[in-house]
Structure 1
Amino acid sequence: MLKAYKYRMYPTKEQEEKFFQHFGCVRVIYNWALEQKIKTYEQDGKSISRFSLNKMIPELYEDKEWLKDVNSQSLRGATLNLDNAFTRFFREKKGFPKFKSKKNPVQSFSVPQYYKVDFDANKVRLPKIGWVNTKLHRRYTGIEKTATVSKTPTGKFYISILVDDEQELPVKSIFNEKVTVGIDVGIKDFAVLSNGEKIKNPKHLKNSIKRLAVLQRRLSRKQKGSKNKVKARLAVSELHEKIRNQRHDFQHKVSSKLISENQAVALETLNVSGMLKNHCLAQSIADASWSSFVTKLEYKAEWYGKTILRIGQFEPSTKICSVCGFHNGKLTLAVREWKCPECETNHDRDINAAINIKKFALDKQNLIGI
């Protein structure tokens, strides 16, 4: 089972320069490889493999001798990242790979092997860089795979180490109606459960939006290229980082709770990218970050042998009475509570949707009534 462990690094000034040198060289190789792939396809109608590109990298040393100053395996890691980008483009339709810019606030390079981790000394040794002070707050056991060094927009450095703990994923637990929960995500409440529980939406971005607007106005007024502009940009980045950390902390706690308390979780498939085109709700939807929350549920379910059930995007979970099955086609987004004209049951819109999501998911598994 693969797990990633992320640690904060505290490099010296000289080591920071080495980091930036690696960021720049890896970016050059990535852009060069992307250009080669595009040219090869336009001329021959074929794609050039990363192995062929790796064989061509030494030829670049003649004109770009500074490439010799960085870890050669990090350079070859750039071609692997490019291959992965093309795989996402063809399989998941994630968008054609773009050329990387040095102005991008997030920079990274990979270290496939030959790095060392010393937990007792709180240091990590990187090829061509040396021992770097690192806050190794968690120990791990297993086979170390690729490590990735990254820089955030706030100027912080992190290393993420992929570890194979040599353990198999646990067998999926048997589930039934009693140990399954349906979840309806929303904006007013972050998540509503089929058992009637509502999880309040913390709205981290909305709570900080006024302060963010002030900092962005200050940034826009600074002179281009000045030190004050750099300071103002850093202040904006730090607030964005705080919001992101708050959001991830909240989602980790909620997802861990749901996975630990249930054997199966039923979810509705949402077209989030399409919903973000609604300019009236886009900011609130982005603030809730449902896709990130679902991702956390999915990999934690794999870790602990739980099951994620999905229902279709167009299932009428909101408009159907969960008691008698009456379809209320006139229900609008503004209506939060409604009464079924058939069985006269009073429904909370979101709780009713969560119950239906659970029913639809279990019905596909032929587990209704078990």
Structure 2
Amino acid sequence: MVSRAVKRAFKYRFHPSDAQAAELTRTFGCVRLVYNMALQARTEAWTLRQERVTYNATSALLTGWKKTDGLAFLNEVSSVPLQQALRHLQAAFTNFFAKRAKYPTFKSRKKSRRSAEYTTSAFRWRDGKLTLAKMDQPLDIVWSRPLPDSATPSTVTVTQDAAGRWFVSLLCDDVIEQTPASGQVGIDAGLDSLLTLSTGEKITNPRHERRDRERLARAQRDLARKEKGSANRAKARLKVARVHARIADRRRDHLHKLTTRLVRETQTIVIEDLTVRNMVKNHSLARAISDAAWRQFRTLLEYKTDWYGRNLVVVDRWFPSSRLCSTCGAHAERIPLNVRSWTCRCGTVHDRDVNAARNILAAGLAVTACGDGVRPQRGNLRSGRPSVKQEHPRATTGIPVL
């Protein structure tokens, strides 16, 4: 049996002491400050002098900032998370120049993710206990699952979410067994059913946000009545954040179990390239689309298929999977969303979602067979032609239409 070595992050919740929480809170603030100051320095250098500032230059700036009276408090926290913040900024600029992301923005005290990253020189891992730099006692981690045998973390990331929960993520080397699998499946994402498989199976949409909608609305009304800046408003904000965290946890858990099952059972998985960013502009469906988390489903599926040696094929977003008859290949007229079944002129009665999943599978197999285009075509280059074999119009002249 073939195995593959991968880098895998294991995330656990922990409960810090008062001293540890204070130290981590100071570290979060220093990391945010250093990131923002370095971003401002790089922006001003380019705007005023057309000069590009590298990571080494920002590291030298950090050394100078620590020697000033106003920023001497930067020496009170571990230097490694501060250096990692500069590396993250460098990665953000690299993605920007490669046109993979927008220009980096400043971190906000209220909205940005609170995190700090420690490398091997800034923590001690001994006998299954983790002690961070500037701390005397190890973290009280809730070991919900064991680490791989003889695993040693190479990077530790500490975060605190909006609900006030503390998490630590340990990046370790892990071995994934490449278990054999067979068959292929096409997947159509939807709202009535979260996923519809080409086998005819429909996976129910759990609608996690809808289940807690009344609780969330009540917590938000309580928050709106509190005076800004008061202690009661801070408590009400935590209640709202806890409801959101409950929804997100259940959604993530469901998607993890679903993608793991699909990857372990199937060798070739075909999905459709969906532009969720544009789809949520429809205000009638935005809430339901966000709750379905199609983008998160695809992200999980991408790295898990890579881990287990499976084939993931993404067909063009303009492929008319719902309007194409999976039996005879004929195109139907535009089908409204409220029409869940339709009859082709060949006499076949189609379930809209099952038919779409079968067409997506056929298009994906065509991609693997003849190298048809997989990526979405943009702008005027978009042809709108399906990834299946098509006859020239003159080749079908005189043939009666069924």
Answer yes or no: same fold by TM over 0.5.
yes
Query: d(CA) in 2 for partners of 1:339 and 1:294?
Result: 31
Q: 1:286 is aligned with what amino acid?
A: S
Query: d(CA) in 1 for partners of 2:336 and 2:295?
Result: 24
Deviations 1:14-73 (A, max 9, x none): 111100110011111000110011011113323211122112211111221111111111
Q: Do 1:119 and 1:139's aligned partners in 2 also have CA atoms closer than 8 Å?
A: no
TM-score by length of 2: 0.85
1:302 aligns with 2:306: yes
**2:191 counterpart residue number:** 187
Query: d(CA) in 1 for partners of 2:243 and 2:357?
Result: 34
**1:163 counterpart residue number:** 172
Query: d(CA) in 2 for partners of 1:334 and 1:124?
Result: 54
**1:205 counterpart residue number:** 209
User: What count of residue pairs does the alignment treat as equivalent?
Assistant: 360
Is the partner of 1:196 in helix, strand or coil? Answer: coil
Q: Do 2:181 and 2:265's aligned partners in 1 also have CA atoms closer than 8 Å?
A: no
Q: CA RMSD in A?
A: 1.9
**2:351 counterpart residue number:** 348
Is the partner of 2:163 in helix, strand or coil? Answer: coil
Residue 151 (structure 1) aligned to one of 160, 168, 172: 160
Residue 88 (structure 1) aligned to one of 85, 91, 95: 95
**1:108 counterpart residue number:** 115
Q: 1:57 is aligned with what amino acid?
A: L
**1:47 counterpart residue number:** 52
Query: d(CA) in 2 for partners of 1:347 and 1:151?
Result: 48
Q: Which runs of 5+ in 2 are unaligned?
A: 1-5, 371-387, 389-402
1:53–1:105 distance in 2 versus 1, CA, 3 Å? closer
Query: d(CA) in 1 for partners of 2:104 and 2:321?
Result: 37
Please give the residue correspondences for 1:1-370 in structure 2 after superposition, counting only pairs within 5 Å: 1-63=6-68, 64-91=71-98, 93-104=100-111, 106-114=113-121, 115-118=123-126, 120=128, 123-130=129-136, 131-137=138-144, 138-140=146-148, 141-165=150-174, 179-341=183-345, 343-366=346-369
Give the deviation of 1:314 after TM superposition: 0.5
Q: Do 1:105 and 1:153's aligned partners in 2 also have CA atoms closer than 8 Å?
A: no
Give the deviation of 1:261 after TM superposition: 1.1
Query: d(CA) in 2 for partners of 1:339 and 1:119?
Result: 65
Is the partner of 1:144 in helix, strand or coil? Answer: coil
Q: Do 1:119 and 1:136's aligned partners in 2 also have CA atoms closer than 8 Å?
A: no
TM-score by length of 1: 0.93
Q: Which runs of 5+ in 1 are unaligned?
A: none
Q: 2:363 is aligned with what amino acid?
A: F
Q: Do 2:181 and 2:264's aligned partners in 1 also have CA atoms closer than 8 Å?
A: no
1:91–1:174 distance in 2 versus 1, CA, 3 Å? farther
Query: d(CA) in 2 for partners of 1:322 and 1:7?
Result: 46
Is the partner of 1:366 in helix, strand or coil? Answer: helix
Identity %: 36
Deviations 1:168-223 (A, max 9, x none): x7779786xxx000000011100000000000000000111121111101100011
Give the deviation of 1:329 after TM superposition: 2.4
